[in-house]
């Protein structure tokens, strides 16, 4: 599987579901047909449920928010790191927003190691501390640097490394990869809300527009 990563700096917005092709990659979603109304190309509810409502997902903001913003990211993606402040500000300013984080390790072995460690840190109640440390770190996320940041935020390294290899962690990452293929995402970072996605470096205003459009479509 080959992906294009932060290919350009500007925002690219498009309907999140260009077609139903690729749905076979999500075995839990047998043959979903795209409706024609009321949105010209809506996201099937079966996919929205998988995308937004997996109980294992890290969630920021209001867990009962009326709109969900999903972010597909990689810890070795420069624009993902630069987007973190905009996401945090958006959550602070929008009390009805629910943000879901999708670990999409597309930059090699270091990214896969980081994604597994990040999801495993949930089991120690330190996901947000670790996520922030990883997004603010200098240099690439590789095994040594990831474990260094894990120690810095007080994670039990032995437990972390054991949890990283559990099937549930890998299943979560593979689910995200399948979703990305199904929705034909261009690369990281990608933000999805409602029926649309944006790709690349985003400002707070960009993300607010995406969320506002989703509210109009979904509420």
Classify residue 39: in a domain, yes or no.
yes
Give me the domain span that covers residue 42: 12-106+170-218
CA dist 90 and 71 (Å) reads: 13
Q: Is residue 120 part of a domain?
A: no
**Which burial class, exposed, middle or buried, applies to 67 when counting CB atoms under 10 A from its CB (0-12, 13-18, 19+)?**
buried
Burial of 219 (0-12, 13-18, 19+ CB in 10 A): exposed
Burial class (CB in 10 A: 0-12, 13-18, 19+), 192: buried
The pTM assigned to this predicted structure is 0.82
- Mean pLDDT in the chain? 84
pLDDT in tens, 160-194: 999 999 999 999 999 999 999 999 998 999 999 99
Residue 28, pLDDT above cutoff 70 = no
Instruction: Indicate whether 136 belongs to any domain.
Output: no
pLDDT-derived band of residue 42, with 50, 70 and 90 as boundaries? confident
In a domain, 92, yes or no: yes
pLDDT tens string 60-103? 999 999 999 999 999 999 999 999 999 999 999 999 999 999 99
pLDDT value, residue 19: 34
Does 165 map to a domain?
no
Q: What is the pLDDT of residue 150?
A: 98
Better pLDDT: 33 or 135: 135
Say if residues 50 and 16 touch (Cβ distance below 8 Å): no
Is 4 a member of any domain?
A: no
- The full 3-state SS of the chain, as one line of letters, equals CCCCCCCCCCCEEEECCCCCCCHHHCCCCCCCCCCCCCCCCCCCHHHHHHHHHCCCCCEEECCCCCEEEEEEECCCCHHHHHHHHHHHHHHHHCCCEEEEEEECCCCCHHHHHHHHHHHHHHHHCCHHHHHHHHHCCCCCCCHHHHHHHHHHCCCCHHHHHHHHCCHHHHHHHHHHHHHHHHCCCCCCCEEEECCEEEECCCCHHHHHHHHHHHHHHHC
Q: Which two tokens stand for residue 217?
A: 């479509």
How many domains does the structure of the chain reveal? Answer: 1
Query: What pLDDT, on a 0 to 100 scale, did the predictor assign at position 40?
Result: 57
Least confident of 117-121, 154-158, 212-216: 212-216
- CATH code where residue 185 lies: 3.40.30.10
Please state which of the ranges 32-36, 93-97, 104-108 shows the lowest mean pLDDT.
32-36
pLDDT value at position 68?
Answer: 97
Percent of the chain with pLDDT over 70: 81
Q: Residue 26 has what pLDDT?
A: 43
In terms of C-beta density within 10 A (0-12 exposed, 13-18 middle, 19 or more buried), how is residue 132 classed? middle
What's the mean pLDDT in 133-149?
96
Residue 28 in domain = yes
Question: Is 7 within the bounds of a domain?
Answer: no
């Amino acid at each position: 599987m080959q992906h294009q990563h932060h290919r350009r700096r500007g925002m690219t917005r498009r309907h999140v579901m260009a077609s139903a092709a690729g749905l076979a990659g999500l075995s839990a979603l047998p043959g979903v047909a795209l409706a024609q109304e009321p949105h010209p190309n809506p996201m099937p509810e079966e996919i929205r449920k998988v995308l937004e409502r997996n109980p294992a997902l890290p969630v920021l903001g209001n867990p009962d928010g009326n709109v969900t913003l999903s972010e597909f990211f990689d810890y070795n993606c420069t624009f993902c790191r630069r987007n973190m402040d905009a996401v945090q500000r958006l959550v602070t300013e929008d009390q009805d927003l629910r943000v879901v984080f999708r670990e999409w390790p597309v930059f090699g072995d270091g990214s896969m190691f980081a994604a597994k460690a990040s999801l495993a840190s949930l089991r120690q109640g330190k996901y947000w501390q670790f996520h922030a440390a990883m997004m603010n770190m200098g240099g690439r996320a590789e095994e040594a640097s990831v474990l260094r940041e894990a120690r810095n935020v007080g994670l039990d390294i032995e437990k972390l490394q054991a949890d990283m290899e559990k099937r549930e962690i890998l299943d979560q990452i593979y689910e995200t990869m399948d979703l990305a293929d199904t929705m034909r995402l261009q690369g990281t970072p990608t933000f999805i809300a409602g029926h649309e996605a944006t790709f690349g470096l985003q400002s707070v205003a960009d993300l607010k527009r995406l969320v506002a459009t989703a509210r109009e479509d979904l509420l």
